[in-house]
Amino acid sequence: MLTELLNLDTIQITNEVANWQEAIHVASSPLLQQSKIEKRYIQAMIESIEQHGPYVVLTPKVAIPHARPSDGVNELAMSLLLLQKPVFFGPNKPVYLIIVLAAKDNSSHLQALVDLTQVLQETSHIDNIIGCKGPKCIIEKIRQYAAKER
């Protein structure tokens, strides 16, 4: 399921962004363009982090911003932004991978999250994805690491 959601249309690589808010905007843009989320979903993710702190940094170098399905999710979706230079979500919280999760309900995204957890559980997996120069490389790594755990 993860490789269906993260594909050439939803993966981006850029050098750097000004701040974590811009990172969320850029990371969300493919989902917005595909009408899988509404603009208010992006704002809800930013407001949630402003209220609760950088809880979306689930593992070093990786943030998984999200908000409630009712905040503007039209369809289950994920997107990934790889930054060449990290953006800081908080002190000592450098992030290279921003993976936006848009869940339509409380359960349809769970398998994708399980797959993503398997990919991100090894520091070497994260570093290898960060080392990718193109979206195809990222997709290959995700396929390889998700399949390894099955």
CB 78 within 8 A of CB 100: yes
Q: Of residues 25, 52, 66, 125, which has the active-site annotation?
A: 66
Tell me whether residue 25 is one of the annotated catalytic residues.
no
Nearest partner of 104 among 80, 65, 72, 79, judged by Cα: 72
Cα–Cα distances (Å) from 82 to 11, 23, 87, in that order, read 8, 10, 10
Nearest partner of 65 among 51, 125, 7, judged by Cα: 51
Nearest partner of 65 among 82, 88, 42, judged by Cα: 42
Instruction: Report H helices in the chain.
Output: 2-5, 20-33, 39-52, 110-120, 123-130, 135-148
3-state class of 53 per DSSP? Answer: coil
Q: Which residues are catalytic?
A: 66
